Structure 1
Amino acid sequence: MTTHFASPEPGSAPARPRRNEPLWYRILHSGFLVYILLLALAVVYIMPFLIQIATSFKTDADATANPVSLIPETWTTAAYERLFLNSDFPLWFKNSFIVTIAVTVCRVFFDSLAGYALSRLRFRGRNLIFALLVAVMSVPGVVLLIPKFLIINSLGIYDSYAGMILPLLIDASGVFIMKNFFESIPRSVEEQAMIDRAGTFRIFWQIVLPMARPSLVTIAILSFQGSWNELSHFIVSTQSTELTTLTKGVASLASGQLSSGNQYPVKLGAAVVMTIPVAVLFFIFQKKIMNTSEGSVKE
């Protein structure tokens, strides 16, 4: 039986034997160094969170003697017991939860309304409003703290839930995201409803808004995270201890509200509990964040 070997095509260069390549060349082109770099960056990024969790289960003496150790000498939940039973932490959690839920729900609704109006409705001054919206996004939030305080105080809603919630009900970046998403939806999906004489709000609510589910999830997560971690706004809008939120309360712990010692376990335990809701929400909905394949329309 005759064996035939395929001959190389005319003009093609013969394959270079890989066995003669230097070791450093093969390592460089295998992607090994890239994985090592990514692993190092992941360790640097995750290490503070691991130290935070480990320290919350330490004793005060252990946390002071070994602040960056990942294994406590004595495992204890004393920090969490003190946090929930002998402090105002449950009150702070309740205030943050009320404000965050109210802000998230209302911001998703109002941002989508404003985004739809700017993308679909034709009215005088629409371009000017959008330009002002982009301008607001470029202004640092700290610059607006004093004007925000003056407005809240003049409206008579200072040191109340209304003063904490109302100024956060709409977000310029959320309106910008919703406007861009609505513009990506072809107008043909609304034409049939217009022929059936459906109103503008009905078209928005029943046809366009369900298609914007990815952007709605994105706005909801960003709104929840932003209002849950908000600090500067609550500083200028409240002063009573009954309205203290988690961010203000944890900041007061970090600044030395506790009686004696550094109290690292209690402070970092509060930070761990504060991180859990945002982390859970993100991991549940991470696959739906701006998933453009969901809700898309093929023409």
Structure 2
Amino acid sequence: MKIKVNNHILLIFGAFIMIIPFLWMVSTSLKSYGEAMQVPPTILPQEWKMSNYSSVFESVNFLKYYLNTIIVTLSRTLAQLFLCSLAAFAFARLRFPGKNIIFIAILSVLMVPPQVILIPNYAILTQLGWIDTFYALIVPGMFSAFGVFLLRQFFMGIPKELDEAATMDGCSLFGIYWKIILPNSTPALMALGIFTILASWNDFLWPLVMTNSADMRVLSVGIAAFQGQYATDYPLLMAGAVMSTIPMLIMFIFLQKHLITGIALQGVRR
């Protein structure tokens, strides 16, 4: 009993340490510029300036950044769920020459840092004429080696007897994938969807390099526009950061059960 109490105290302390940056961000977003730059800093604002949030929309085209981010995030997520599940179904259920070699080659992509292939990708997209378009923001993120691996491991745990029964009933390969595999893989699909949404929503380096105009900016790049060369308006910067964080917090609050279930089930799949 004592050990459990100590563990809970340790976890509560760790959670408090992790939430301090977020609380400081909210507090700073409600301060005036002078108070935000005050030394020593104040924990709570002396004068609560809710106008900082409206000033964000007046300073930059924040709604446009939000819309661009939603379009990119939804497009990447839906494409990954479909394409990665198709590839995972092939590796988990089909037999074809070089299957293991191709799968290892796909997994090897996980060992390559994205920064290494950034310049070659930029050169390719420049030749395609996709720079500063949604094509550059969406198409390269439509497939994920991690997604293929995650779903393949889950698909392999689904009994093959279901496939055989469906085949005897005249079901095609795509029918097995669509009517048998996907309905039984909801936890894994939810986990991949959440991971993809988080990665796409928080992506900064790729949109920064691949876009030039303000109309194509996403939230992560748009918020960085508040950082000046000599001075930064931290209350506006933090207000924009809070508004960009809220959708992810809401998603995690309502979908954390599916995320934990999807990850936990991976540990019992062969």
User: TM-score, structure 2 length as denominator?
Assistant: 0.91
Alignment pair present for 1:210 and 2:183: yes
C-alpha displacement of 1:67:
7.3
Q: Measured at CA, do residues 201 and 150 of structure 1 come closer, stay the same or move farther in structure 2, by a change above 3 Å?
A: same
State whether residues 164 and 234 of structure 1, in contact with CA within 8 Å, keep that contact through their aligned partners in structure 2.
yes
Unmatched runs of 5 consecutive residues or more in structure 2: 266-270
Specify the alignment match of 1:96 in structure 2. Answer: 69
What whole-Å deviation, never above 9, does each CA across 1:30-86 have from its counterpart, x for those lacking one?
555444433322221111100101111111112111675432101111211110133
Greater helix percent: which structure?
Answer: 2
Specify the alignment match of 1:176 in structure 2. Answer: 149
What whole-Å deviation, never above 9, does each CA across 1:101-153 have from its counterpart, x for those lacking one?
11111111111111111111111121111101111011111111011101111
C-alpha displacement of 1:160:
0.8
Specify the alignment match of 1:9 in structure 2. Answer: none
Q: Distance in 2 between matches of 1:86 and 1:142?
A: 31
Specify the alignment match of 2:50 in structure 1. Answer: 77
Deviating above 6 A after TM superposition, structure 1's stretches of 4 or more consecutive aligned residues are: none
Q: Distance in 2 between matches of 1:253 and 1:144?
A: 29
- 3-state DSSP of counterpart to 2:249: helix
What fraction of aligned residue pairs are identical, expressed as a percent? 34
Pairs within 5 Å for 1:185-224: 185-224=158-197
Matched residue type, 1:265: P
- 3-state DSSP of counterpart to 2:220: helix
Q: Measured at CA, do residues 196 and 67 of structure 1 come closer, stay the same or move farther in structure 2, by a change above 3 Å?
A: farther
Alignment pair present for 1:143 and 2:116: yes
Deviates more, 1:167-176 or 1:227-236: 227-236
Specify the alignment match of 1:268 in structure 2. Answer: 238
Q: Measured at CA, do residues 268 and 172 of structure 1 come closer, stay the same or move farther in structure 2, by a change above 3 Å?
A: same
User: TM-score, structure 1 length as denominator?
Assistant: 0.83
Unmatched runs of 5 consecutive residues or more in structure 1: 1-25, 295-299
State whether residues 190 and 207 of structure 1, in contact with CA within 8 Å, keep that contact through their aligned partners in structure 2.
yes
Specify the alignment match of 2:209 in structure 1. Answer: 236
Q: Measured at CA, do residues 31 and 122 of structure 1 come closer, stay the same or move farther in structure 2, by a change above 3 Å?
A: closer
When the two structures are aligned, how many residues end up with a matched partner?
264
Q: Distance in 2 between matches of 1:30 and 1:183?
A: 38
Alignment pair present for 1:247 and 2:220: yes
- 3-state DSSP of counterpart to 2:49: coil
State whether residues 35 and 41 of structure 2, in contact with CA within 8 Å, keep that contact through their aligned partners in structure 1.
no
Q: Distance in 1 between matches of 2:246 and 2:110?
A: 28
Matched residue type, 1:85: E
Q: Which among 25, 30, 50 is matched to residue 52 of structure 1?
A: 25
